[in-house]
Structure 1
């Protein structure tokens, strides 16, 4: 599966700082100091609907991580999946009369368009669940054969007790896990499971559903969590730097994925840091496909909004915060974009060296994009009020905003 084209990242003078970021697994800040190649895995979409602002906010957060790393003169190895076979996708296809593969391809294509428009840096590997099945099957067989998984009426379940580190990612108690499991795709009430929290690794073929040859597992399709484990292990290996996604993925998805990988390899941890973005709401409720309260990136773009303004609307909120999308949020971003573009259009201006340092400091401080935006606002205000004589300043500001914030002026 192909990703989307990369926008050029301008070169900046000097070098950025190492990133300090909040790690869900420790509950506190960690300093990320990868080697020459920083490794990041971000969980992708289930393509049964278009990209909404909640998606965009999450991918914006991890785009900032990449940009901070690039500014430290590292390379970035970024991997993202597409869950192109799963119950929600099949249910939507059945409800709309679409072929499920055509629906997945159409919505994935629209996602690529949105990511391109928003100047999100693409992954090096962009891999669908269906594409990963040949890697998933032997992993499930190994877990089963080692006693870390078991069969129940043809389905294969992972035993959470096979990983002594289970629970360390989300740091939730068993009752909270059980509630979230039921809400987020698990089946804690199914009779016969060794532990209500045990997640499915391989679903035996159901009538009318797509299925694939699972060798000794029989025909079926993969569970949700093992998909990301197979892709991450194949392309990044154990101990990669950041596992990322929305805060609703901490449990069960990232918790279960870590346990699958740790049981498979005998190594710990799966990822050095688990980083989670906040949720975006509309009309007081989390923006989600199940509730239908979505603002689509493609719709806002079709209405004539510059994608740079959409990105500024996302950047105006700290990535870990839960916030609400409103018309006022977008209006403010449109106005900010106009001010910034007017400021950099002049032939000279106030020195921007200090501004570059401020942006770097803000982003290294747990991706504090609101502080970075405020710093650019101050420079633009000074430009509007008094101007300056530094002929290189507007160009440096434009390059810094592009390279570090992904906003083209």
Structure 2
């Protein structure tokens, strides 16, 4: 029911004004009534918890935004109000909030603001921001970080990158940073001018390091590095300088999950001394500045060089010790050579004498055996000689000096010689018909 102030001259409802009918109001009059009612009912300032949406400012320095509240169970909107921060408040409130929280004053963050309730006849209901409490947003940001880290831990990927072994010689470095960042220049200068003269190969994979596109930009750079992961030893994500409020882009789940599961060790140097991001928590190693990241790599090379130098010294000492041992052995062997030579010569002499004696006896036995065999052969030859056969009564018939073995070859008139043991006779062949 609407109560109309006394004395207000209003035409009757429907323009008629017949008795008892309720008076009618113009829209402007109704809105004015609503405004006065709100001013009377809600005259104070109120602290309101809400999420920022559609934050924008104009050339006059005023900030216009929406405050929303979502259903935690379904993420659907359950409340919404238009908000305004006038320029004289906004120019103080924005830097104060961002410096205190390290978070941009932008859509998507939860805030605790002190507001007055306003109603304008033309623009309707709105909240005018008078103040903000950064500690509320800090608590919400910390809670979101914890939730992201808990989710990564539940998925079993939180410490995967930390568990990778840092290469002994981290010389091939993929750098994710802005090409114009002073920190990138400091990082490269530090590596190239290290006192030990170590060589480093660096390649920049450009990415935005502040603003709303940090997540997408860094993820794209990581994808490019991953395609060429065999060409690098480590990945360095550096930022160098800039407002603390720009760190919010490194507190996202997708970026943290990608870095936690990356196949190369990731070194981060994106924050300030007192700021830790979710990305810092999942990276293999976190340092404060790009220069510190370069020093970490140089220290790694120096440690490897020191270890190598230690190995060289140990090798030298081992070789020298072995050389001394062998020299002593050689000297000992050298001192033993004369006595060993005499001993070996005496042994050889005895062996030679024994061998000579055995050889002599063997030769005598062999000669006796061969003499006996020759005598046997001589007797067998003597028994088979023609003279011995003739002496036994045999004779030999010859024709023209050749022995006749077949009588069919003889012809009449052939002259034959028959030889006996003693003497010989000549005969003429006479073949009878």
TM-score by length of 2: 0.22
More strand by share: 2
- Higher RCO (Cα < 8 Å, 6 or more apart): 1
Q: Which has the larger radius of gyration?
A: 2
